Structure 1
Amino acid sequence: MHFDLQDLRLFIHVAEACSLTGGAQRAHLSTAAASTRMKTLEGQLGSRLFYRSSQGVELTPAGKRLLRHARVILRQIEHVKSDFSGYADGAAGHLRIFANTTAVTEFMPEVLARFLSIRPGITVDLQERLTRDIVRGVLDNTADLGIVAGVVEAQGLQLLPFSLDRLVLVVPRGHALAERPHVSFQETLDYPHIGLHDGSTLLQFLQDKVKDMGKSLSLRIQVLGFEPACRMIEAGVGIGVLPESCALRYQRTQAIRLVELEDDWAQRERSIVVRELEALPSCGRELIEAIVDHDGFSLPSYV
């Protein structure tokens, strides 16, 4: 059985776009040419890959199985190219990373700035995703590695802990909770909260905790980052739960107070998620080391 790599790439485009026309556009082909290629691929496999309708296309069970394999094959080819192009071009390669909000906004910019400054041949695609999507992305080879916080279900993956992420309550000076040494998250639900944007891992995490309590989270306003959240809190618009590392930084210039959360889940372990560490291209393993070094932690000796 012979597979054309271009057909596999086209198949992935069509599957992700849920449209033959959309997939053809991404592959810079006509719809007719894309349709012919997909029918040929189905003939080679002896399986129907798509359910077709006027609304677009949907993967069949066989199509879903092929999508998993196709992503693995193409990612491995990229890794081979990355490793071998490094000999000729000087550490060239591409990495796709799915990470939570804190990683994307707080420490990865500094890590990547240093990492890429000495590796000009490497490019990085860093995307903010929810924890479940990070794990799924690494599992199906959509991403090379993921960065998560807290307890995650990661069967079939390697979880590499590298630092701690503590959540704290941030309130304006003079707030009723400002002088408390610590407070439970449930007590904070009596006050309006400042939340991050929909799709942020932190907001989803807190909403899940509130749901487990059978309560509701009163969101007065949502913002696109930790700095605007602290500014809203300083202005008295509401209170918020944020990572301690970023809250301490903004406390230097803003009239806010940090209050310890009593809840066990407030201290979360940050981890890097990979399918198989040794299967990563060399630039991927080097980036993991750079992340660990940034936080002053050491991974096990197998890195």
Structure 2
Amino acid sequence: MHFDLPDLRLFIHIAESPSLTQGARKAFLSPAAASARIKALESQLGSRLLYRDSRGVELTPAGQRLLQHARLIMRQVDYLKSEFTEYGTDAAGHIRIFANTTAVTEFLPEVLAGFLAERPGVTVDLQERLSRDIVRGVLDGAADLGIIAGPVQAPGLQVLHFSTDRLVLAVPLGHALAQRQSVSFNDTLAYQHIGLHEGSTLLSFLREQVEKLGGNLALRIQVSSFEAICRMIEGGVGIGIIPESAARRHSRTMQLAILQLDEAWAVRERSMLVRELDALPGSVRALIDRLKQGV
């Protein structure tokens, strides 16, 4: 059985696109040529890979399996190219990162700014994902590196701890809770919260904790960043649960009271997820080393 790398890359483009036409465009092929290549691939494998209708394409179970293997193969090809680039082992390459909300909005921009400034030949694709999607993405080879907070269930992956943060409650000065040193999560549910946008890892995590308590998280407004949450809190709109690192930073310029949460889950271990550290290209290993130096 023989596979052409361009056909595997085409299949990935189509699988990650809403339609065959858009996938073909990413591969710089006409829809007819792309369709012919996919049919030839299906014939070679003896399995149907795509369901096609007026709404676009959907992967069959066989297509899902091929996508997993195709991603891994193409990532290894990319790794091979980066290892032999003229720039050196860690000065060039492309890194795809799946990370949680805190990583994407808080510490990674600063870390990546310095890292990329030193390595003009490196490019990065940073995507915010839910925890389960981060794990799955690294397992499937869709991402080189995953960054996650809290307990990790990731069989088959290497888990590299690199820092610790804590979730805290931020309230406006003068709030009924402002004079307390700590508070339980259940006690906060009596007040209106400021939350992150739908799909953020922190909001999803807090909703899981609410569900365990059988309570209700009253969201007055949802915003896109921790800074926006703090501005809403300072304005008296509501209260919010955010990472302590963000709360301390914004409290230097905003009128906020910060309370500890009396919950074991408030302490959040940050970890990096990889399939096999020694098999990663130099640029990814260099970024991992940078994160291990401290955030």
Q: What is the TM-score normalised by the length of structure 2?
A: 0.97
Structure 1 residue 272 displacement after superposition: 0.3
Secondary structure of the residue aligned to 1:117 is helix
The residue that corresponds to 2:217 in the other structure is: 217
- Note if contact 1:83-1:91 (Cα within 8 Å) is conserved in structure 2: no
Identical amino acids, percent of aligned pairs: 65
Aligned residues: 295
Structure 1 residue 204 displacement after superposition: 0.9
Secondary structure of the residue aligned to 1:48 is coil
Change (3 A) 1:274 1:236: same
- Note if contact 2:162-2:294 (Cα within 8 Å) is conserved in structure 1: no
The letter of the residue matching 1:148 is I
Secondary structure of the residue aligned to 1:212 is helix
Equivalent runs, 1:130-279 vs 2, <5 Å: 130-279=130-279
The residue that corresponds to 1:291 in the other structure is: 291
Secondary structure of the residue aligned to 1:68 is helix
Distance, in Å, in 1 between the alignment partners of 2:86 and 2:279 is 16
The residue that corresponds to 1:62 in the other structure is: 62
- Note if contact 1:98-1:126 (Cα within 8 Å) is conserved in structure 2: yes
Structure 1 residue 53 displacement after superposition: 2.7
- Note if contact 1:193-1:218 (Cα within 8 Å) is conserved in structure 2: yes
Distance, in Å, in 2 between the alignment partners of 1:223 and 1:277 is 36
Distance, in Å, in 1 between the alignment partners of 2:117 and 2:61 is 44
Structure 1 residue 56 displacement after superposition: 2.5
Equivalent runs, 1:104-123 vs 2, <5 Å: 104-123=104-123
Distance, in Å, in 2 between the alignment partners of 1:145 and 1:90 is 15
The residue that corresponds to 1:93 in the other structure is: 93
Structure 1 residue 33 displacement after superposition: 0.7
Distance, in Å, in 2 between the alignment partners of 1:199 and 1:179 is 33
Distance, in Å, in 1 between the alignment partners of 2:89 and 2:149 is 35
The residue that corresponds to 1:80 in the other structure is: 80
Structure 1 residue 18 displacement after superposition: 4.4
Distance, in Å, in 1 between the alignment partners of 2:102 and 2:31 is 41
Structure 1 residue 19 displacement after superposition: 2.3
Distance, in Å, in 1 between the alignment partners of 2:128 and 2:46 is 38
Q: Deviations over 1:84-129 (max 9, x none)?
A: 1145697211100111111111111111111112111111111111
Distance, in Å, in 2 between the alignment partners of 1:172 and 1:38 is 58
Distance, in Å, in 2 between the alignment partners of 1:71 and 1:210 is 37
The residue that corresponds to 2:17 in the other structure is: 17
The letter of the residue matching 2:212 is D
Secondary structure of the residue aligned to 2:71 is helix
More deviation in 6-15 or 163-172? 6-15
The residue that corresponds to 1:36 in the other structure is: 36
The letter of the residue matching 1:11 is F
Distance, in Å, in 2 between the alignment partners of 1:55 and 1:139 is 29
Secondary structure of the residue aligned to 1:64 is helix
Q: Deviations over 1:54-76 (max 9, x none)?
A: 33222222211111110000000
The residue that corresponds to 1:102 in the other structure is: 102
The letter of the residue matching 1:164 is T
Structure 1: 4+ residue segments shifted above 4 A? 86-90
Distance, in Å, in 1 between the alignment partners of 2:267 and 2:88 is 45
- Note if contact 2:10-2:23 (Cα within 8 Å) is conserved in structure 1: yes
The letter of the residue matching 2:161 is P
Secondary structure of the residue aligned to 1:17 is coil
The letter of the residue matching 1:92 is A
Secondary structure of the residue aligned to 1:216 is coil
Q: CA RMSD in A?
A: 1.4
